[in-house]
Amino acid sequence: MKVKKYVAPSMQEAMKKIRSEMGNDVVILNSKVVQTGGFLGLFTKKNIEVIAAIDPDVPANESKAVKPLSRETAKHTVQNSSNYLEHQGQLSTVENVNQKPVLEEITELKNMIKALSTNERSDVYPPPLKDIYEKMIKQEISPTFIGQVMAELLDTWYEHKGEISHTDLYKKQNRFFALQLEGFDFGGISYKRKYINVIGPTGVGKTTTLAKLAAECVLQEKKKVAFITTDTYRIAAIDQLKTYAKILDVPIEVCYTTEDFKQAKQNLAMYDYIFIDTAGRNFLEPKYVSDLQKIISFDDEMETFLVLAATAKPADMLAVYEQFAVIPIHKLIFTKMDETSTRGSLFDVMKKTKKGIAYTTHGQNVPEDIEVATRERIVEQMLR
């Protein structure tokens, strides 16, 4: 692997030098803003320092023929490019002088590096690894984790001199992701607390999910249960929960205020478990979370699940979680798994919230369309 450092006044000029000397198959390993020249720290000039590399096995005149990289080149490239994507924002804080040109150069570099983490450069991998790589891209797994797992798989591939099955490579990939989730709390209701509460934004299917949980408790655990709803903003939501209560033959209390909630708890004191439904609102507004706290007492007697739709954008899910972080959240529930084929967001959300998954749901049928989550099963659903 040939590695060389270039210093130029701008990224554009650096790339001209690099391409003229190393060709179009060059890989950018690192880039940063540096100060050069000057006297006693004064009159220095801003320059861009770029570390470029190329595999000497690929002739310069074959720039359009993408060939698999050598073991060390490929591993180094994957790790550096993915780490850059994850921490790209750090470069913009190096200095405040001439920020606009610097940001333009960072954008150009970002686009170049990003090309290494998309299907455009997937041919650098041997066929079995290329297949795994492209599937992770489609699942929208974070570039950082794609880089890490591909580095691991490249090691395995070369150790076995290419004599390893797709199945074994997939198993190693699954083990990598499972290890990333080690220590996270998975599984359904603990049945250690009397009150089971579901919270979350509008449209994620909280009421139907709550009915599924209650049905499991009645039919499988043989427990006496009841419903409380604080979703007084939508008549249809109350009617829906009343219908489920009638089917399960359990009581329901509708609460408008904190006093209503306290009275409902007293009225239902003889029941084993109380399932609480909450209003679906725009919880990007802190006011609605505050309103929820005024009605419901989130104490040690309550097990709370944050319900998120698997179809939502990771950034939106994380924003919702941040708003609800003032409430003790025990686990996550992901609904609408049947409505998306892209599930990499589950992994990102778990890693960033440090919360495991209790259940996933995949349809409207009560109580069938719900599944207790395990670490292994979530990895399988995410990567299949």
Distance CA 350, CA 74 (A): 29
Q: What is the pTM of this model?
A: 0.68
Verify that 326 and 367 share a domain, yes or no: yes
274 shares a domain with 130: no
- pLDDT tens for residues 328-363? 899 999 999 999 888 888 998 999 999 999 999 998
Whether 189 is in a domain gets the answer no
Number of domains making up the chain:
2
**Per the domain annotation, does 187 fall within a domain?**
no
CA distance 382 to 346: 7
Range of the domain at 55: 2-180
Query: Residue 274 sits in a domain of what CATH number?
Result: 3.40.50.300
Task: Tell me, yes or no, whether 229 and 122 share the same domain.
Answer: no
Strand 357-361 relative to strand 2-8, pairing: unpaired
Q: 76 and 117: one domain? A: yes
Say if residue 315 is in the same domain as residue 174: no
Q: Among the three residues 129, 157, 180, which one is the final residue of a domain in this structure?
A: 180
With tokens 């009225």, the residue in question is 267
**pLDDT of 39:** 53
User: Please, are residues 202 and 280 in contact by the beta-carbon 8 Å criterion?
Assistant: yes
Which pLDDT score is estimated for 215?
A: 92
Could you give the CA distance from residue 146 to residue 151 in angstroms, rounded to a whole number? 9
- Please report whether residue 304 resides in a domain: yes
Whether 217 and 349 map to the same domain: the answer is yes
Considering the domain boundaries, does residue 261 fall inside one?
yes
∠ at Cα 77 (74, 79), nearest 5°?
Answer: 105
Domain C-terminal end among 180, 207, 234: 180
The DSSP 8-state label assigned to residue 113 in this structure reads H
Among residues 180, 206, 228, which one ends one of the domains?
180
Same domain for 119 and 204? no
- Alpha helices in 26-126, H assignment, sequence order: 71-86, 99-115
Q: What is the pLDDT of residue 298?
A: 75
DSSP state of 383: H
* Residue 186 forms part of a structural domain: no
Whether 154 and 253 map to the same domain: the answer is no
Q: What are phi and psi of 62, to 5 degrees?
A: -110, 45
- What is the number of other CB atoms lying within 10 angstroms of the CB of residue 353? 19
Same domain? For 36 and 107 the reply is yes
Give kind and range of the element (H or E) at residue 237.
helix 235-248
Residue 188 lies in a domain: no
Structural contact between residues 10 and 101, judged by C-beta atoms closer than 8 angstroms = yes
Indicate whether 202 and 176 sit together in one domain.
no
Q: For residue 173, give the DSSP letter.
A: H
* Tokens found for residue 240: 């829906």
**Domain-embedded: residue 185:** no
Within this chain, do residues 237 and 305 fall inside the same structural domain, yes or no?
yes
How high is the mean pLDDT in each 10-residue block of the chain (384 residues)? Answer: 79 80 74 65 69 66 46 54 47 43 52 45 71 88 84 82 85 91 92 91 88 92 92 75 91 90 92 88 67 73 92 89 86 93 89 94 84 93 83
Which position has the token pair 């006093």? 259
Same domain for 96 and 141: yes
At residue 292, the pLDDT reads 73
83 with 147: CB under 8 angstroms? Answer: yes
In a domain, 320, yes or no: yes
Note whether 90 and 148 are within 8 A (CB): no
